[in-house]
Amino acid sequence: MKPERIAQTFSAYFNAKPDFIARAPGRVNLIGEHTDYNDGFVLPMAIDHAIWMAFRPRDGSTVRLFSSDFETDSVFDLHSLTPGKGWVEYAKGVAHELQQAGYILRGFDAAIAGDVPRGAGLSSSAALELGIARTFAAVSGFEWDAQKMARLAQKAENEWVGVNCGIMDQMASAASREGHALFLDCRSLEIQHIPLPKGIAVVILDTSTRRGLVDSAYNERRSQCEEAARWFGVKALRDVGLGEFGKRNVERGLSEIAWKRARHIVTENARVLEAVEAMKSGDTKRLGLLFNASHVSLRDDFEVTNDALDIMVACAQGQDGCYGARMTGAGFGGCAVALVEEEKTGAFVNAVASAYRHRSGNEAGIYVCKASQGASLIQL
């Protein structure tokens, strides 16, 4: 999407010129799935699909938003926020959390549009939250602190919107760097920008399947992980090393199911650390094998794939030039991610689209992605 377009949308709706444009990207997770709420490691990257907001400060405490994607507008007052329904709740939730944290906010007019596929597991909600936070920072005159803003946006999603997510998506949208993946320690929020290896393409493969009840399955996985952490006597599964892990845990009373869930987390954390090393040394083959192993663990131990994801991953892994592929995001539908030799990307995309159509009867959505910058601001 071009920034001029959102500026035009603003002008047409508000009959005035905007002062700024904020951009906040969606993300794809390269590896480290379901590890964030276990205080573990993740390696997402921000993608070149984002939410754009053209805006202008207002005097007083009114926020007026126009969404060109939903073709609806919404108005709220910063001094009397009340929960309601729809996309505007993300904005109200972020405003609420910022104010709770002591920020003095100013109102604004904004036009919003985006090209992050919704419901696909590419974090369009986190992008919207961070876009709103970026806008508040600009109009209210406070400094952009990616970690703080990500935490508050996560809180808005957990408490105002009522979705129990971890910190990965908000951090990826807030703090990523162009051309790099974001290696994040979800306990300390320490980050390291890791350059993507040369000569590879990151390809997102949308299965076009969306499963309902994702929230309840997600919450169930979280409590199983907590059960396992309690059994090990640690704060979070992050604190369990590969060495302490074995079948003897079950013999000593850990439930079989919690053990399987924990095995995914413990091995996935180790895979993230290894993936970072592989990326640093340009060992793309190794990185691809880690993708494949992550998928197996998510399928067999964590049990968050569906048939469409398994088929998509198999279709991708079978192609010439594919280093590895895995499901990405929460699972139960949505997208897979593949690491592909750059020169073979065109052929890969065509071959996967037709293999997936043939084997699943569904149409794939395919995006060859660039690693983009986290939330940013353009002054007009």
Q: Give residues in contact with ligand GLA (CB under 6 A).
A: 29, 33-34, 36-37, 165-166, 168-169, 329-330
Catalytic, 169? Answer yes
Q: How far apart are CA 373 and CA 380, in angstroms?
A: 19
The overall longest dimension of the chain from CA atoms, in Å, is: 70
Q: What tokens were used for 151? A: 């935490």
> Which helix (DSSP H) or strand (DSSP E) does residue 113 occupy?
strand 108-114
Burial group, residue 16, by CB count within 10 angstroms (0-12, 13-18, 19+): exposed
Q: Report the amino acid identity of residue 309.
A: L
Catalytic residue among 36, 39, 169, 301: 169
- Pair 112, 67: CB distance under 8 Å: yes
Least Å distance between CB 93 and ligand GLA?
15
Q: Is 361 exposed, middle or buried (0-12, 13-18, 19+ CB in 10 A)?
A: exposed
Residue placing its CB nearer to ligand GLA in the complex, 7 or 181: 181
Give the chain's end-to-end CA distance (angstroms, integer): 17
Nearer to ligand GLA, 270 or 347 (CB): 270
Handedness of CA 241, 247, 252, 253 (dihedral sign): positive
What's the angle, vertex CA 251, arms to CA 246 and CA 255, rounded to 5? 85
Alpha carbon distances (Å) from 127 to 32, 220, 227, 375: 20, 25, 31, 8
User: Minimum distance from CB of 125 to ligand GLA (Å)?
Assistant: 8
- Residues that are catalytic: 169
